[in-house]
Structure 1
């Protein structure tokens, strides 16, 4: 296992065998690979500021036990690589190669293009990538290419309008991502035609095109554009399998066209990997999400969305919701989320271009939402247009300051299979209807509290529901005897501490303490 060195040119020495900094190779074309040069287990130090008008690549592969590491943190002279304008970039076409602590600046192309049949074990760690109008790290979508056991960790992505990381297959091809980790990276001012991390598979690909066991966690997105995280397609239930998105922080995510917002997932069934577990979106924090996608749009799969925080959500058109269950989303659940300030598109008539719902249920089957706190929204819970089955159970949530309706059932929603119970709704004005129903009589509403609203539209409250003031404490826990627990304690509590009573408590949080369960983050 040897250390090797390459410097930008030949001016430092007439003897250049790459074995020391003083005798470093002079430019990329002088590097010797394999045999008497760089091979598995070795480290190549890139020293100084390199500028290239060519595609460069490692010419040798490592192995799982003997990786090749190319790094730019030599103490005497840290390394950087800049590409001039043209079709030039760093082509990672060999397996078990690590790029580490390098600064790579794009010309008008990629920083890094990854290829391979398959490419196994590519690691990108602690690098700084400065982008252009093309994706910074592009997993090239070519037939029979596959990307396995990839780690992208601790890097800084700066500027660029072509996405930070992408994989976008289309046409008659089979290509896949498997066991990919994107973690602890900082995306600063990065946007793209669709977003920052874009894994988008179109419907015309072959059945072998899929994503498996994707983890995206611990990243920060600051002043970026488009959707922060999109892993979507094809529009088939469960083609992909296994995804977790957690502990990300998104601040000031702007729209690109109409696209923008937090997290979009589509097509994920459960992972077949024994220790992967369910598909989860959790512990993400979002401050300013602008565009259609709101906090989380989830489609064509089964997911849990929990313990996320989001505030200041807007859209120029429809949606821009807290959590949207849509297009063949099945058996999914949202719980323990805190979502504030869903301003929507600013249209006071939400029936024209529905937006700004805390929870929106579209083409989704057997989905559940409980224990969520929604503060300042257009509509608390909406049931919208459906193409196929729609059923849900919405219970023990709290919706504060609804400006259009507490609950809204559009004309094409299913008025027999959607249930709301044990929720609390309040409003911004006494002219706002508590419930708007544009379909036939809705019988799925019961045991809710609607306070401060005007007359309903197309709905009569269930006998078990009330309009009393819930008398919230600082934790948004009702103190009114009409809402506070008055049943028999059954023992135990749910995931986030709510005790079980019969009849159950009303609202989103437990009333056993005056310590706020939800706290307002910085704005």
Structure 2
């Protein structure tokens, strides 16, 4: 396990053999690779401030358990690499390479481009990257390129308008991501045309123009404990492609997103598409949980989940806006199936200030082209509409129960004419409003909506296009400071059914109404399991 050293050209006048700091190689092109030099198990220290007007790359691969580590934290002199303007970057085209504690500044291209057929075991650790007009880290999606066991951890990404970490498939190629870990990074002022972390494949077809292209896919992606501050676009997008279950295995948790701004209309928190369950033992279900969001601006709101099966739970989000549609707390859409949202707290969904869209932006929960989706135990405070349904006439279905929607400004519940008016059920929820002129329900249906029962709509005007169920209340639920109902009409007892809501309330039959009860526990402290 030998240490080697490289310093800038002209840094010293000794014979450069790379064996000590005093006799370091001078410039990247003088580094020697292979047997007896930098090889598997070696560490290469980059010392001093390097500037390059060329692509640089490692000259050898490491191996499993015996990596090549290139690092910039030598005690005598820290190392940095700056690329001049032009198509210059650090090309990681070998497997089992670790970049650690380096400062890398792009010119007008990437900081790091990763390539490989395949590239296995790339690890980017504790580095500082300053971006430009292209992505800081590019997992290049060229044909036959595959990436496996990639870890991007503990890094700081500063600025740039091309995004931070991308795998963006824009042509019909075969390329895959497998076991990708993006953890404990800080993203500061990073913008991108789609977002900050973007794994995306556009829709392509085989030559028949009918069969969807299946050459690009993701397996077992984990994005956790990252901090996004003053970035633009969607914070996290993993979407590939518009087909149910093409990918497998996704977890997004414990991330903090603060002041996420729009790029055009694009922006918001988390977008996932195309994920079925992982085939890897112990990976578990597809989960979005314990994320905290403060200011999400753009179409995507807190969580848009598509073409797959997911659990979204114990997240907190506040201050959601958009320049167009959506900006929902949670959106089940585009062939989302058998998914659940529970224990989320979402506050201040302003939408775009207009109710011209159908449904209007700023719904706490929105069900569009989705089947058998469930939401319970969620708390939504200050929204345009509590829960909305739209788009799909056949097979759309959902069960929305034991949630609390406080201060709805346009409607408590909204149903487009295209929504399924029998298979979308709302029951045992509490709705309150900001003004007595707000309808409790806006139902643009050709026939009666049969899925509404046992709710409490307080302070609203009468429903539009709907007759409230006989079991539905309009009396004051008497919400206390943590939104627990104290009115006797909303508090019931009965047989315990298992499960609990946002504040730890257990479910009973007959049920209580609303999402909260005694002994409040912040959702992010407990990851409850659905029943």
Q: Shared fold by TM > 0.5?
A: yes
**2: distance between equivalents of 1:503 and 1:325?**
28
Aligned Cα root-mean-square deviation (Å): 1.3
**1: distance between equivalents of 2:381 and 2:176?**
40
**1:309-328 alignment to 2 at 5 Å?**
309-328=316-335
> How far apart are 1:35 and its partner, in Å?
1.5
> How far apart are 1:491 and its partner, in Å?
6.5
Task: Give the structure 2 partner of residue 102 of structure 1.
Answer: 102
> How far apart are 1:172 and its partner, in Å?
2.3
> How far apart are 1:14 and its partner, in Å?
3.4
**1:248-287 alignment to 2 at 5 Å?**
248-287=255-294
Distance 1:258 1:509, change over 3 A: same
Q: State whether structure 2 residue 514 is matched by structure 1 residue 507.
A: yes
Task: Give the structure 2 partner of residue 131 of structure 1.
Answer: 131
Task: Give the structure 2 partner of residue 409 of structure 1.
Answer: 415
Task: Give the structure 2 partner of residue 334 of structure 1.
Answer: 341
Task: Give the structure 2 partner of residue 75 of structure 1.
Answer: 75
Task: Give the structure 2 partner of residue 431 of structure 1.
Answer: 437
- 3-state SS in 1 of match to 2:409: strand
> How far apart are 1:500 and its partner, in Å?
2.9
**2: distance between equivalents of 1:517 and 1:479?**
20
Distance 1:387 1:41, change over 3 A: farther
Task: Give the structure 2 partner of residue 58 of structure 1.
Answer: 58
**1: distance between equivalents of 2:269 and 2:8?**
41
> How far apart are 1:149 and its partner, in Å?
0.2
- 3-state SS in 2 of match to 1:38: coil
Distance 1:352 1:234, change over 3 A: closer
- 3-state SS in 1 of match to 2:99: strand
Are 1:117 and 1:144, in contact at CA under 8 Å, matched by a contact in 2?
yes
**1:341-352 alignment to 2 at 5 Å?**
341-347=348-354, 349-352=355-358
- 3-state SS in 1 of match to 2:490: coil
**2: distance between equivalents of 1:386 and 1:499?**
33
Q: State whether structure 2 residue 429 is matched by structure 1 residue 399.
A: no
> How far apart are 1:208 and its partner, in Å?
2.8
- 3-state SS in 1 of match to 2:169: coil
Q: State whether structure 2 residue 325 is matched by structure 1 residue 302.
A: no
Are 2:377 and 2:500, in contact at CA under 8 Å, matched by a contact in 1?
no
| Aligned counterpart for 1:361 among listed residues 359, 367, 379 | 367
**1: distance between equivalents of 2:334 and 2:521?**
35
**1:229-240 alignment to 2 at 5 Å?**
229-240=236-247
> How far apart are 1:233 and its partner, in Å?
1.7
- 3-state SS in 2 of match to 1:482: helix
| Aligned counterpart for 1:421 among listed residues 405, 417, 427 | 427
> How far apart are 1:353 and its partner, in Å?
6.2
Are 2:233 and 2:266, in contact at CA under 8 Å, matched by a contact in 1?
yes
**2: distance between equivalents of 1:397 and 1:491?**
16
Distance 1:319 1:127, change over 3 A: same
Distance 1:387 1:152, change over 3 A: farther
**1: distance between equivalents of 2:197 and 2:393?**
29
Task: Give the structure 2 partner of residue 445 of structure 1.
Answer: 452
**2: distance between equivalents of 1:35 and 1:500?**
66
Q: State whether structure 2 residue 95 is matched by structure 1 residue 88.
A: no
User: Deviation digits for residues 61-118 of structure 1, max 9, x if unmatched?
Assistant: 0001110000000011100000000000000000000000000000000000000000
> How far apart are 1:518 and its partner, in Å?
6.6
Task: Give the structure 1 partner of residue 153 of structure 2.
Answer: 153
Aligned residues: 515
**2: distance between equivalents of 1:353 and 1:192?**
28
> How far apart are 1:460 and its partner, in Å?
0.7
- 3-state SS in 2 of match to 1:161: coil
> How far apart are 1:300 and its partner, in Å?
0.2
> How far apart are 1:152 and its partner, in Å?
0.1
**1: distance between equivalents of 2:383 and 2:262?**
20
Are 1:368 and 1:392, in contact at CA under 8 Å, matched by a contact in 2?
yes
- 3-state SS in 1 of match to 2:29: helix
Unaligned 5+ segments in structure 2 are: 206-212, 525-531
Are 1:509 and 1:517, in contact at CA under 8 Å, matched by a contact in 2?
no
User: Deviation digits for residues 291-310 of structure 1, max 9, x if unmatched?
Assistant: 00000001000000000000
TM-score normalised by length of structure 1: 0.97
User: Deviation digits for residues 139-188 of structure 1, max 9, x if unmatched?
Assistant: 00111100000000000000000000000113221100000000000000
Are 1:363 and 1:388, in contact at CA under 8 Å, matched by a contact in 2?
no
Q: State whether structure 2 residue 475 is matched by structure 1 residue 468.
A: yes
Distance 1:398 1:412, change over 3 A: same
- 3-state SS in 2 of match to 1:394: strand
User: Deviation digits for residues 435-477 of structure 1, max 9, x if unmatched?
Assistant: 0100121010000000000121011111111101001122211
Distance 1:196 1:387, change over 3 A: farther
Are 2:292 and 2:316, in contact at CA under 8 Å, matched by a contact in 1?
yes
> How far apart are 1:488 and its partner, in Å?
1.8
Distance 1:172 1:450, change over 3 A: same
> How far apart are 1:384 and its partner, in Å?
1.4
Task: Give the structure 2 partner of residue 181 of structure 1.
Answer: 181
User: Deviation digits for residues 467-512 of structure 1, max 9, x if unmatched?
Assistant: 0100112221100001012x3243654376322322011111233x
- 3-state SS in 2 of match to 1:41: coil
Q: State whether structure 2 residue 365 is matched by structure 1 residue 381.
A: no
**2: distance between equivalents of 1:62 and 1:350?**
58
